[in-house]
Structure 1
Amino acid sequence: MKSLYGAVLDGYDTRIRPINNQSAAVYVNTKFVPQSLLEFDTSEQKFSMLGYFRITWIDEVIRWDPANYNGVDSLKIPITQMWRPSLIILKAFDGHGVVGQDTDLTIVSQHGVVSWIPEGIYSIVCNVDIKYYPFDEQTCTITYYVSDETILTVQLDHYLSVDLAEYSENSAWTVAGTKRVKYLQYNTYNIDITLTLQRRASFTTFTLIMPLLMLAFLNICIFLVPIGSGEKGSFSITIFLSYGIFVTIISDTLPHNSLQISYFVLFIVILLLLSVISVFYTILQAKLIASIGDKECTVSFLRPKRKDPNAVEKFAPNDDEMTSGQIKEKSLYNEKAPVDDADEVYTWGKFLERLDIYLFVLFLIMIVLTTVIFFIVLLNHATRSGNIPADDDPPATTPVFPV
């Protein structure tokens, strides 16, 4: 083994591409294998994935005959003692996008096939679209290239599709689809590994949306509280402050620099606006009751209909023509008959009491319509994005390595 290491590494220069014809390009095959989604912070737009690369190329300098070395057909060589492609990940979150470490080892076969598997946590900046939160779908792309080479010196490739065989499911996000794209940019090949993620909305639905809907229907109960109870104002203020707590929770979850407006935030704003209107109405109602509550209302709207004195009444026979049972029934009816309130004064207090019922129905309709529209828009988006085609495109280049 010492003799073999000395023979293959004697005079080896890591600065020179390991190919006999220096006018040709070194073919570097890569394959990204994601293992686990560690973090996806939508506020900071930070996407962190634990995984590794399978990087393979042919080193024409390191070759030997196993018969001369007691059948040894492979070696473990530190990556620092060999030429390697300088892979860089674009948009690295910490600004350090170098793939691999100096402590990595490579496995080299007798034919010079080098296998390098750098593992690590790769954090990138991922643009977040919160328009359909919490039924949103995010697309994050890991882009890498060889920084100090061109297409004339290194041909970078990603053979086959992204392998999810070793991926462990995340509790908050699910991988709905993957895609890899190879393209030429700035005279070098770039590889895009795109992961489409869908949020698991069950937790958000039961912890945010359902309590918010309960609070919305509780808000309209303000109009059912009697005016004279003295609790109407405090009840409306309490509901309004509860909305403020929800806005604080959502603001800590969503990114602050997003260019899109979330439908969920718009839904909260509408409910908050209805709560503000109800608080303003409650205060105005208390002021009107204290000022002109006992005065006659001059507004004919919502005034109860009075009995028309000229209306034709049903004919009733005289007492002489009625039987004893009919006379008794008539006397009981006259005792229970309501007193004509034609002369009763219709005050502003009674007007506001009747107005509460109409506002309750109006706010109930508005909340129901807003909720239905909100769920229709989000669920339609979730249905459209539920079936994402897999990345089954044929590879751009088929690697040819000696066996």
Structure 2
Amino acid sequence: MIDQSMSVIGWLTLEWNDQRLRWTKAHYDDVDHIYATDSEVWKPELFIDNSVEDVSILQDDNLLFRVSETGRVDWGIPRIFVTTCTIDTTFYPFDTQECVIDVTSWAHTKDELELLHLREHVDVEDVAENGEWLYVTSRVESSVITETVANRMKRYSLLRFVIVLTRRCEYYVTNVILPVLITSFLIILVFILPVDSGEKVSYRSDSVTWPLAVLLTMIADSMPSTSNYVSILSVYLAYTLIMGVLAVGLSVLITRIHSQDPDKPVPVWLHKITRRLFARGACWKGYYCCWNKKEPPSTISHRTNGQRRDYPMYSLARDR
């Protein structure tokens, strides 16, 4: 996945007719087919256009060609096909990928050599089960490669073997999704933890923020370094990490306010933030925000050292 490549072990089966190789079997002791080597018969010069490791001509001197009396030549090439595969990580780990093996001619144009597919699908009779990917379907498409050389346009025949794979998500649900959701849920618990416990900030940073950062790093390391596709899970983790950092800042602010001297007045900027931001977001059914009312805000009384002080109550007022 990181290299954006697909490795497949398979056979590329080719058939073509060569009229020069026809014979009448009655004249040759009823021999209906023979085997020939690479140097004895003509073969098309083909290669894998999107190969990663090897872009050489498909050939093997140890493989024999089966030639029938009608001039039909059968040739099967066993090979490890390592091709490029653009990975779409948008819905990772619930993603489905389409990987392609492109077969085209090395030197023959479409007028000289045309590639036709024998089947509509890839033969998967011998497919072995994979622990990470599940085979869904496949298809074979005929296409044309156009190339302009010296003001002349050349067209080459192309066969595209498209293989559709879907990821087995059971492993990722138990090892990625559940830890991410559980760790994200722990963010809201930091506001329930009492300030007097002394663990408010350490709980938030050690138990929530760092695990989210580690999970984000692990997911990023398992995906290709490309900006063509961005995983929704990575975006969710990034925003959750940002919210966790904000929660740490709020926890520090709450702890600092809690440890202040009761006789010290609350700063004006904190009054404004609480009244205009937090109080607005804390309004719920049965309550109203005081700035929506025409009457002046009510006051709360606080007695310190035998002296009474009145403070405006800017947060919430109970609707009687």
TM band (smaller chain):
0.7 to 0.9
> How does the TM-score come out when normalised to structure 2?
0.76
Q: Which amino acid aligns with 1:288?
A: I
1:183 alignment partner in structure 2: 143
1:167 alignment partner in structure 2: 127
3-state DSSP class of the match of 1:81?
coil
Q: Distance in 1 between matches of 2:59 and 2:11?
A: 9
Cα displacement (A) at 1:127: 1.2
Q: Which amino acid aligns with 2:130?
A: N
Larger radius of gyration: 1
3-state DSSP class of the match of 2:35?
strand
1:100–1:120 Cα contact (<8 Å) kept: no
3-state DSSP class of the match of 2:73?
strand
* Farther-moved stretch of structure 1 (128-137 vs 157-166): 157-166
Note the residue ranges of structure 1 that are not aligned, 5 or more in a row. Answer: 1-41, 303-340, 346-354, 356-403
Matches within 5 A, 1:235-384: 235-238=203-206, 239-292=208-261, 295=264
- The superposition leaves residues 61-98 of structure 1 with CA deviations (integer Å, 9 ceiling, x where unpaired) of 22333334433322222224321111111121114253
1:71 alignment partner in structure 2: 30
Instruction: Select which of 176, 198, 205 maps to 2:173.
Output: 205
3-state DSSP class of the match of 1:221?
helix
The verdict on how the C-alpha distance between 1:165 and 1:261 changes in structure 2, with shifts beyond 3 A counting, is same
Q: CA RMSD in A?
A: 2.4
Aligned length: 267
Q: Which gives a bigger RCO, structure 1 or 2 (Cα 8 Å, sep 6+)?
A: 1
- The superposition leaves residues 18-71 of structure 1 with CA deviations (integer Å, 9 ceiling, x where unpaired) of xxxxxxxxxxxxxxxxxxxxxxxx211111111111101112222333334433
4+ residue runs of structure 1 moved beyond 6 angstroms?
Answer: none
Q: Distance in 2 between matches of 1:118 and 1:178?
A: 20
1:223 alignment partner in structure 2: 191
Matches within 5 A, 1:88-107: 88-107=47-66
Q: Which has the higher helix share?
A: 1
Matched, 1:43 2:2: yes
Q: Which amino acid aligns with 1:203?
A: Y
3-state DSSP class of the match of 2:116?
strand
1:100–1:119 Cα contact (<8 Å) kept: no
Matched, 1:149 2:117: no
Q: Distance in 2 between matches of 1:79 and 1:292?
A: 94
Q: Which amino acid aligns with 1:82?
A: V
Cα displacement (A) at 1:136: 1.4
Cα displacement (A) at 1:253: 0.9
Cα displacement (A) at 1:108: 1.1
Q: Which amino acid aligns with 2:180?
A: L
Matched, 1:196 2:164: yes
Cα displacement (A) at 1:293: 5.4
2:309 alignment partner in structure 1: none
Q: Which has the higher strand share?
A: 2
